[in-house]
Chain A
Amino acid sequence: MSHHIFILSPTDTPLYSLTHYSSKPAQSAGSALSSNLPSWSTSAFAGTLTALSGASSATQHHTSAGGGVRMGGGQDRHVIQMIANASLDAIEEVMRRENVMYLKSVDKFNEWIVSAFVTAGNMKFIILHETKNDDGIKVFFNDLWELYVKTAMNPFHTAHTPIRSTVFDSRVRASAKKNL
């Protein structure tokens, strides 16, 4: 089971991203309808469609037993990013209406559930996950927030500076391992 974590600047630019593979087993495929899909390889554009609709991950799921490493690079990563980006629509709406920082399960697309955390500076932390884990994600977000604030206190850090600190990265990974 994998989690995809993004930190987005107010202008939707990713400052940090992390793909976390959890040791927990993945859920079985959500819908009966998504099984038995035809394999599409007729043209380049069918590939796009396959990936965007989530079919590629569904078929992949069948091929890889036990739901180990499902996310490859390339196209799938692109789709994950597309979903994270598209979920901003929902996040923007909800965050303006609700007065909390942690927006749990704010959006759902294909098989992904999107949870988000919006800081006061309009930085958005986004997690794409497959199973509900509200408490764990909440703890993780709080850790991430603290780490981010520590990074942002660097006087040379602006709202648009990508976070490349290895310390930040390792701590985020540690927290993800613990909580997700």
Chain B
Amino acid sequence: MDHFPFASLAQIQILLVPVGSITKSLFDKRAAEIRSFDNIPSGDITVGDKDQRARFLPTTNTLATGYLHLSFPSHPPPESRLPLSLFRPSAFPLGIIGIASCSPETFEHIPAYFDDAVRDVISSEYALPISRVCFAFEEASDGAALNTTLSGVEVIPEMDTKQTKLHLGTLLASLCSRILVDLSDFVCHIRAHNSNSLTARPQVQNLESPIGNEYLNSGLFATLLPSQLPSALDLEQRSESPLSTHSQPELSTISNLRKSSTFKRTSSVGPALPSLRQSTLSAAASGKKRTSGIGAASSHGRLFKVLGDAFLLAGRTEDAVVWYTEALAMFKSLPDPLWHASVLEGLATVPILEAWASAAGLNGSVDTVKDPWIDPTDKIAQAASMYSRIIPGNDQDQQYPLLSYLYITCIFRHTSLLYSVWSAKGWGPVAFTTLLNPGPAPYVPPTLAHPDQLSFVNLERLSITSGIRRSHISEVLSQAHGPWLLHLGSRERIAILQFITAIYGYIGYRRKEAYVIRETIGCIMDLVVCGREHYDDYRLSSAKPVAIGQDAPTPTAGTLGIRESEPTEGNEGIVKLVKHICRIHGVDLGAVNVVEAGPEAILSRKSWTRDERRDTEAPPVPEDDIPKEPIGWPELQIGIVREAIAVAEALPDYAAVAQFCFSALKNLHPVMTPTDQNQLYAGATRALATAKRRGDSRAIEYWTGTPIVTIELTPLPFVRFPVEKSLGLLQDNDENTGKRQAVTTDPFLYNPRRSLHTKGSLLVVQNEDLEFQITLRNPFVFDLELSSISLSTSGVTFESKPISVLVPANSFHHVLITGRALEVGNLVVRGCLVQAPNGLSREFGLPLSTEEEEDKLMKRKTGIACEYGRTKYSGLAAHPWERPTEKRTSLVGPTSKKPAKPIRYMDFKVVPELPLLRIRRTSLTHSAVMLYNGERSTIRITLENVSSLSIDYLNLTFEDSTMSPAQQALLEGELSVFDAYETEYDLIHRQVLTWDSGNSKVEVPPGKVMTVTVSCFGKAGCTNGSIHISYACSRHALEADPPVDNFYARQLTYPVLVTVYHMLECYDMDILAYSGLNDRFGVGYHDPSMGESEDQSWCLFSIEVRNTYGLPFEVTFERIDEGEGWTASLGPDNVVASACRTVPPGSTCRIILPLPKLLLTEEQTSRPMPSLSGRQFVVNKSKLSSEDIKLQRELFWYREELFKAVRGRWKEAGGSRSGDLSLRQQRLTKPMLHALRMDPVYVQMELLQQADDEDGVSQKVVNRRGGKYRAPPNEFLFLRMRIRNVSPACLIFTASMFFEPEKYVIHQGVLQGIPFGEVESGETKEMEMAICFVSCGRFELRGQVEILDAARGEPAGSGHITVLVEDGQYLTVPDSITGAHVDE
């Protein structure tokens, strides 16, 4: 490959060729040894005979300073460049070194091999002289057999490195000496190598002869192609002209020239020439003269330029300058821009050579002149502009490539001068060395060898120290780039583009570098494609079997299809270049990895180590949610990606095609058109299929971002849902449990654990199907095919089948994955395993995010959104892989210091298998019940066990629409104690649905049915209810070892629609004292049920019943025998009395029922109102006095007692339906309480009179009529008071008597505080008092019994009689008169 060193004009090229059967490594080693001689001091050159042939050999003057610079290419220049032989001899090898390894066996053949090798590399049309030598390196030190010398072969014996080097140096010096001699020969004589032309007359020609000069001036480049030469120039027949021993174009040369050109010129210009030696200033004048002297003939400018070139090669810079100056002078008068430009290039090379020599010789003395490179650069720039302006002659097709090449190399010379100085931090030895001998890696100077040298700071530092700006270098270099590149051959073009790329790369112009790399790749791919076509043609023509996979015609009959393995070396490099271009444009083509993996690796990647690590790592922010700053130029990106794919397809590297397509889709899909996306996807799919078919072992990792949006468990149907229950339920037979549950299960109003209890992992059942709904997202415009998607789980074994999905374009898509857990334990669903067709599967975790994480995520998102549009890194530094990896400081905060929390995934608790029950039928139609208020009916439910497990636990719980408001009211705790009791009573004793749970220990074997009967009670206000049947197979839990606390049950729910007709209303309940009633109505009302007991112990219960319904109802109120509870059996035996009325629709009836008075003891009435539900004690908030509380409690307890004794029932008139009437709404007032409560003492008063019987004196009751005694006046009567202690305790009583009017009554003894003494419970005591009514009239006699030491005011009991005192003779007189009369 061409390297375009700056000083190529001063370098003698010596071709290195392998000779014989030398191995490549050995050749490379020896070549490297030889290449280490990049310069040879002139002093080492053997100065041979002092004839003309030695004119370029070093003179004694230049002994100290001159150097010959060598370069050792391994390939000859292309033949197309041969026309430049004379114009630029430095571009062609002047010597050949064959490198052979010699062993005794092969030694003799080396010369023959060498000849072959030389013939191979040097075409027969080669114009320049070539000195050849073969170095035969001895393999072993036993070189005894090699003593024989062969011509042209130098044997280099095995020696130590230093000696070898010395020897090689000597050999090279002698070779150089020969080269110089040959060169001098060449300049003097031109020999045609063409043997064909030998038939023409042999003619000796010399470049310095007039004819030679004409050749030199023929055409643009002085083409020396033998076919164009009219005659062969024989080297053997040299001119007899005196040989010049001096380097200068001396008299002899000129005279020679003059002599040989006599047929053209007659005048001599000799005298001017000696002045050349003294000063170049005179050159112009002499040139003019000479030109004028030459007249019509060609000028000698070109000749002088050739001489200058030769001296430059020979290291004699002073002489070169002289000749170049001479040439310039000639060109000024006769413009010849091409050669002129070349002279300028040569002149520009000289100062560098001198500077290098002086610096090398003087050990690093630096020229102090400011910017010494200005002069050479000016010269080169001038040359370049001249090159670019040359208009080729008639033979354009051949000249354009050469002109372009010259122009470009000139630009490169300019560039490398600037670049070397820049990269060497200024004008100095480093720069010179770089310019002269770039070394094996020509473009990397030591200053740029560090990896971080490409940073802006470092590049700028170089610019500042050297004084050369990068933009200047780039400006110069960009001149080389242009359409003329197309004139060149592919190989040259690649070399040139490579040079441009390298320079752009090293000055940090990466976008330009990418631009040129694109061209380079275009070039290379062009060759690849053309080469393949060429090969195809060749193969087809040779009728070989047809390769599969290429666009070949159908194979001929009888041939086999054979797939040839395509050469793949170099593909990797091209792919790498393509990736590099894309990376510079901001597209990471490696975003999707290609992994070397077989099918077993796909399976084994199911659990990879990265996931273990991810368990403790914070989940990354989902990429899609962050607004991304657009980076780069979308149109360009898509363009270069398309090209990259085309390159990969042409190679062909199908895995890379797929990788590129997918990476591009992943990164660029927001800016891609739908067509592009479709094409890329189709292309990638095709490429993957092809790669697989071809047995490519590489696979593509999963490529779309995160396809999974959510995973959720489809909720189990309620009938299948397992409920955790305490094992205590199985042993506990307490029927209260059910009751308590009906009110509330929690004894606390506020239970902080309640909310915690409901949390926890979801329950799922072993061996039952679970359905997971996965939401997938496809952001692309094509339907995304996923060949397999499955759940990634840990914990217990989970059996599920992967499914393949086609996700529609640009949408969210739901899929259902079904599976079952095979064991009992914990099941964790971590995420999904997703696999694209022909790719590797990849796991996507979907952790549950806590609130804190959500918060953090939100913060990050807003932070990023806030920073959107504020660009910190611009240009290439904005690429994600260029940015520093530090996190955004504002968002890290102190939270990052916290230890990472383990990530939580969806987890489930798998419970053992459960039986399944279903409701087979019920006795209801449309599950609706219609009831009258208070009516009872039954519901029959038939259950069937449809599972294979038998059910041994069954429990029914109920719910109705009245419960929750009541419970709510209770929970709020705002009710008064009384209301709370009523509500609780309602909840417990008057449930709508009840079940006699006598047989909760049931056994329903698989497939069998059982029937449960639920009773239903019509309760006003109830609209619906539900029956919850929970069942389980509790055997496992009971027998579990170790014992467990819980078992799992399932629940069936049967909703019931309840309609309750509210038809009878009870209101205005009243309790009346019986005796008072008697008095009021004046007639004795005697109920048969009252029996013979005294009317004081009775009261009347009265209530009004209104029928608000459309049908008549028969209402019965019954008194139930005391001693038996209300809730006891309701048989008619206990009914002691009843009152029955038919209430027509819309009317109201009052129903009266006699009722024995009640007496409750103090202990009974002083109890607080109970709480039926066993709720927590609630502090009474009402501020009642103790007396009020006492009264309240008394009212409560008496009311309870009353409701126990009285029962209301209704019956449909003419129908069969019946039910209860509730009295619960009725309230007991204080007067009612008085009427109801029995006094502790029963007081009876009688009026007696003495009667004379035969037996003696006896007492008889005074005539009593209409409830009144009729007694005669002025007669002694006896008032008897009989008391009975009806209270259970023994009490001491006193009595007081009140007569009205008192003054007409004469009595015996005191009226107040008449002692009765202790009266036992149930004991009766009597007291008699003699009284006499002294007047007629109506007397009220009242006796009042008090308990001794009891609170004043309230008598314990009282009696009362009314006496009408009248005499047959006496009219009833007013009290005032009679009283006065008595007194008299």
**Chain A residues engaging chain B, CB cutoff 8 angstroms:** 8-14, 30-34, 36-38, 40, 42-46, 48-50, 52-55, 57-59, 78, 81-83, 85-90, 92-94, 96-97, 106-111, 122, 158-160
Contact = CB atoms under 8 A, between A and B. Distances in A.
Given A37-B483, A107-B478, A48 B643 contact: yes
Nearest to A89: B509
Contact of A89 (B400, B510, B586, B631): B510
A96 B877 CA distance: 15
B484 A31 contact: yes
Contacts of A32: 388-392
Contact of B482 (A46, A53, A82, A94): A53
Most chain B Cβ neighbours within 10 Å, of A12, A92, A97: A12
A107 B629 contact: no
Contacts of A110: 481-483
B634 interface: yes
B1380 interface: no
B526 A37 contact: no
Contacts of B631: 11-13
A23 B1193 CA distance: 112
Contacts of A57: 483
A90 B469 CA distance: 10
* Residue with the greatest number of chain A CB neighbours at <10 A, chosen from B508, B639, B875: B875
Scoring A44, A45, A46, A90 by chain B CB atoms within 10 A of each residue's CB, the highest score goes to A45
Contact of B871 (A11, A53, A58, A94): A11
B477 to A, nearest CB: 10
Given A10-B878, A33-B407, A38-B486, A160 B629 contact: yes
Contact of A45 (B510, B514, B522): B522
Given A11-B874, A109-B478, A52 B518 contact: yes
A122 to B, nearest CB: 5
Interface string B451-495: 000001000100000000111001100110111111100000000
Contacts of A13: 630-634
A8 B632 CA distance: 9
B519 interface: yes
B481 A53 contact: yes
B388 A122 contact: no
Given A45-B526, A52-B519, A53-B482, A33 B403 contact: yes
B511 interface: yes
A124 to B, nearest CB: 9
B635 A81 contact: yes
B487 A33 contact: yes
A109 B878 CA distance: 25
B509 A49 contact: no
Contacts, number: 183
A49 B526 contact: yes
25 contacts: A9-B630, A11-B875, A33-B407, A33-B482, A33-B484, A37-B486, A38-B486, A42-B530, A44-B650, A49-B522, A53-B486, A53-B519, A78-B636, A78-B639, A82-B636, A83-B515, A89-B474, A90-B471, A92-B875, A97-B460, A97-B469, A107-B471, A110-B481, A158-B868, A160-B629
Contacts of A87: 511
B400 A50 contact: no
Contact of B474 (A78, A90, A159): A90
Given A12-B878, A44-B646, A81-B635, A55 B485 contact: yes
Contacts of A55: 483, 485-486
B481 A109 contact: yes
Contacts of A158: 868-869
In the complex, the 3 A-B pairs of residues with the closest C-beta atoms, listed nearest first: A158-B869, A55-B483, A10-B874
B871 A159 contact: yes
A93 B404 CA distance: 30
Nearest to A121: B871
A37 B870 CA distance: 48
A118 to B, nearest CB: 10
A48 B522 contact: yes
Contacts of B486: 37-38, 40, 49-50, 53, 55
Nearest to A50: B486
A162 B650 CA distance: 36
A19 B400 CA distance: 33
Tell me the dominant secondary structure on chain B's binding face. Answer: helix
B523 interface: yes
A82 B486 CA distance: 19
A80 B689 CA distance: 37
Nearest to B459: A93
B871 A10 contact: yes
Given A49-B486, A107-B471, A107-B474, A12 B526 contact: no
A52 B510 CA distance: 16
B512 interface: yes
B875 A88 contact: yes
A109 B478 CA distance: 6
A160 B868 contact: yes
A93 B470 contact: yes
A30 B509 CA distance: 24
B396 interface: yes
A83 B471 CA distance: 15
B523 A49 contact: yes
A83 B474 CA distance: 13
B525 interface: yes
Contacts of B1139: none
B610 to A, nearest CB: 31
Interface string B262-276: 000000000000000
Given A12-B631, A45-B522, A107-B475, A86 B515 contact: yes
A159 B870 CA distance: 7
B198 interface: no
Interface in B1239-1284: none
B529 interface: yes
Given A108-B475, A159-B870, A89 B878 contact: no
Contacts of A46: 522, 526
Contacts of A33: 388, 400, 403-404, 407, 482-484, 487
A11 B876 CA distance: 8
Contact of A86 (B512, B650, B878): B512
A34 B483 CA distance: 5
A37 B487 contact: yes
Contacts of B523: 45, 49
A43 B643 CA distance: 13
B551 to A, nearest CB: 14
Given A33-B400, A45-B525, A46-B526, 18 more contacts: A10-B878, A11-B629, A12-B631, A13-B633, A38-B487, A40-B486, A42-B530, A43-B530, A53-B483, A53-B486, A78-B635, A82-B518, A82-B636, A90-B471, A93-B470, A97-B469, A107-B478, A122-B871
Contacts of A31: 388-389, 482-484
Nearest to A78: B639
A110 B480 CA distance: 9
A12 B584 CA distance: 11
Contacts of B508: 89, 93
A168 to B, nearest CB: 18
A44 B647 CA distance: 10
Which of B483, B485, B511, B585 lies at the interface centre, i.e. has the most chain A CB atoms within 10 A of its CB? B483
B529 A43 contact: yes
A88 B474 CA distance: 12
Interface string B622-657: 000000011111111001000100110010000000
A58 B511 CA distance: 23
Nearest to A103: B471
Most buried by B among A89, A92, A108: A89
Interface string B513-556: 01100110111011001100000000000000000000000000
A106 B630 contact: no
B205 to A, nearest CB: 33
Contacts of A81: 633, 635-636, 639
A36 B870 CA distance: 50
Nearest to A17: B635
